[in-house]
Amino acid sequence: MFEAVEELVGEHADLEKRLADPAVHADQREATRLNKRYSELTPIIATYRSWRQAGEDMETARELAADDPDFADEVKELDARREELTEKLRLLLVPRDPSDDKDVILEIKAGAGGDESALFAGDLLRMYLRYAERIGWKTEIIDSTESELGGYKDVQVAVKTKGGNGATEPGQGVWARLKYEGGVHRVQRVPATESQGRIHTSAAGVLVTPEAEEVDVEINMNELRIDVYRSSGPGGQSVNTTDSAVRITHLPTGVVASCQNEKSQLQNKEQALRILRSRLLAAAQEAAEQEAADARRSQVRTVDRSEKIRTYNFPENRISDHRVGFKAYNLDQVLDGELDAVIQACVDADSAAKLAAAQ
């Protein structure tokens, strides 16, 4: 492990020299790439230096303890500190998901359960919006289809860090946290439509994809078929009167994206292109990395209650994540946006699995 770190120390020093050269910044794309790599390595190098310093301090304390027993406690403290830094360094060396710094487009679809499922989809949307608000992320509803009772049959929302696409620190982007939300979410409760007080089980699907930057996916406008049609559902004066809704088909792949929420055809076209670009990025990643493809396809195969990743049990105020065995009895708080503990359980399990695979 430490031989690999020594190589990274050399790479970090080289990057530092290159970034100090004004000529490098003439190419903004290259400078951005170098800065990103430098930022990725900096926490590793800082931890390694602390680890080495703790080792040197511990050896000095041992020499002093040979003549003065009062230094024995300091030796124990430094030994524990070094073990702590060793574990931290091991975790930092776990291969990173290259998309961790990206923003995401999160889609929620009603599934089994009819109107109750649509209401639950609305609850999930509110949960994610509250969570984003707590962290300080920005959210924007891109497209939605509301149900008659006030929930959502389908809703897409962009979630961004304060600085736009990409976080200020490596691994702290939206994808790094929300990628674990993809899958079928099951709810058990007495629906608002239930007159006899019986508990029903229904489900909604969540699909999370990294939002692509323009440099990630090149779209040839000649390879697009753009169809316009009249919007439907609640809206302003333009709804059902003008052809403002837009559907874009990427002919080489058959990937389709549509938007009808905005008032003008141009705005809907821009939003649909954003969705299309992200979907094409996800498709490209699937083709390049079979493992990533399997993970993404497993998010929502069908919105069926039996394929749940998480259960929201209202009568017991219980939240359960079936992938990692997480369970807590604060469902009301989770639905109010306190998702950190649930997500952290997934993060920890993922890190442990990667660490075990790397050994």
Residue type (1 letter), 116: E
Q: How far apart are CA 185 and CA 204, in angstroms?
A: 5
Give me the DSSP letters along 255-308: EEEEE--SSSHHHHHHHHHHHHHHHHHHHHHHHH-HHHHHHHHTT-SS--GGGE
Phi, psi at 310, each rounded to 5°: -150, 145
Q: What is the DSSP letter of 22?
A: G
pLDDT at 295: 47
**Residues with Cβ < 8 Å from 62, sequence gap 6 or more?**
71, 75
User: The pTM is what?
Assistant: 0.68
Report the DSSP beta bridge partners of residue 267.
none
What are phi and psi for residue 185, nearest 5 degrees?
A: -105, 125
DSSP-derived pairing of the beta strands 308-313 and 183-189: parallel
Cα 311 to Cα 342: distance, rounded to the nearest angstrom: 12
Output the tens digit of pLDDT for each of the chain's 359 residues.
Answer: 677 788 899 999 999 999 999 999 998 888 988 998 898 899 999 999 999 999 999 999 999 988 888 888 899 999 999 999 998 888 888 877 888 888 999 999 998 778 899 999 999 999 999 999 999 999 999 999 998 888 999 999 999 987 655 444 555 689 999 999 999 999 999 987 677 778 889 999 999 988 766 545 778 889 999 999 887 655 444 455 567 899 999 999 899 999 988 888 899 999 999 899 888 887 777 665 554 445 445 555 555 555 689 999 999 999 999 999 999 999 999 999 999 999 999 998 988 888 777 66
Question: Alpha helix (H) ranges present in the chain?
Answer: 2-19, 28-67, 72-92, 115-135, 174-178, 265-288, 290-297, 331-335, 340-358
Nearest of 135, 175, 146 to residue 278 by alpha carbon: 175
What are 29's two structure tokens?
């794309």
Angstrom distance (rounded) from CA 51 to CA 18 = 26
pLDDT at 77: 92
Structure tokens at 234: 């609640």
Side chain identity at residue 67, one-letter code: D
Using an 8 Å Cβ cutoff, are 110 and 123 in contact?
Answer: no
- State the Cα torsion 12-46-352-322 to the nearest 10°: -100
3-state secondary structure of 50: helix
What the chain holds in terms of domains, given with CATH numbers, is 2-92 (1.20.58), 104-354 (3.30.70.1660)
Contact 156, 125 (CB under 8 A): no
Residue 253 CB neighbour total at 10 angstroms:
14
